[in-house]
Amino acid sequence: MDIKLQQVSYAYAQGTPFEKRALFDVDFTIPSGTYQAIIGHTGSGKSTILQHFNALLKPTTGEVHIGNRIVAAGKKARDLKAVRQKVGIVFQFPEHQLFEETVLKDIMFGPLNFGVAVQEAELRARKLVNLVGLPAEVLEKSPFDLSGGQMRRVAIAGVLAMEPEVIVLDEPTAGLDPRGQKEIMDMFYELHKKRGLTTILVTHSMEDAARYADNIIIMHEGKNVLSGAPHEIFRDTETLNSFRLEPPRIVRFQQKVEQLMNKPLSKVCLTEEE
């Protein structure tokens, strides 16, 4: 399912003395089945865009299309239930939204609310707890008795239990240790590959954008200013710096080597394995 933002502008507190325009004619399409990263300096509009993907915010002007439907246009949203089922958002620190007595109930909460039968919702929860790398025993525990990393996984399972076609990740590894970060990012990548899940990663991490994304969109001062494959985006350090961004460490290292050798290397390496 393609996601298309067409000339989307957004102002917070519109019509009040506190009005703040956050997006200016944002226009892009994320093709179905791709892994898209959205990067940008703090305040560039990433969170505001993210909330348009499932109509938590509606554009002040412009349109948001999910698949072949217009789901939000000019402050109005349509088919909210279907949109919220199709587009799952893993917000920053999603474990803060856990609230049920047991992990099982928490994962089942979304599907039950959307009319999925109890048996089916439970089946999904049992499969997902395994998929996110937790032992089946946690299902009967209180989510609040788990470690922070485990709680994060339960919250992710809760989003996946809705069986979304698009998953939006808002700094999904914030606060985790490096190993936990890689495990979670690899898990999402596998889901994307195996199930063709359209994945949108909103991140500060140039490393993650370089490693996982097919395409990167750069936001700057409320506008999408550049889009391209990671190799293209991270090759041009000067342009990146003009958006107050730096390429991943490995690219910076390579550029130092090039300076010392006084000649360009044949390709831009984006990961240590290359």
In the complex, the residues that contact ligand ADP under the rule CB under 6 A are 12, 20, 22, 40, 42-48
Tokens of 141: 């525990």
Residue 42 or 119 having the CB closest to ligand ADP: 42
Residue 41 or 231 having the CB closest to ligand ADP: 41
CB of 171 to ligand ADP, least distance (A): 9
Residue 92 or 102 having the CB closest to ligand ADP: 92
CB of 257 to ligand ADP, least distance (A): 32
Residue partners of 87: CB distance under 8 A and separation at least 6: 3, 53, 54, 66, 164, 165, 166, 167, 168
Residue 9 or 47 having the CB closest to ligand ADP: 47
Look up residue 268 and give its amino acid: V
Residue 160 or 219 having the CB closest to ligand ADP: 219
Q: How far apart are CA 150 and CA 242, in angstroms?
A: 39
Any idea of the CA torsion for 86, 91, 93, 99, to the nearest 10 degrees?
Answer: -50
Strand ordering across the sheet containing 166-170:
87-90, 166-170, 198-202, 35-40, 215-220, 223-228
Residue 129 or 219 having the CB closest to ligand ADP: 219
80: β partners: none
CB of 242 to ligand ADP, least distance (A): 16
DSSP strands (E only) in the chain? 3-12, 20-30, 35-40, 61-66, 69-73, 76-77, 87-90, 166-170, 198-202, 215-220, 223-228
CB of 170 to ligand ADP, least distance (A): 9
CB of 196 to ligand ADP, least distance (A): 27
CB of 14 to ligand ADP, least distance (A): 10
Q: How far apart are CA 64 and CA 75, in angstroms?
A: 11
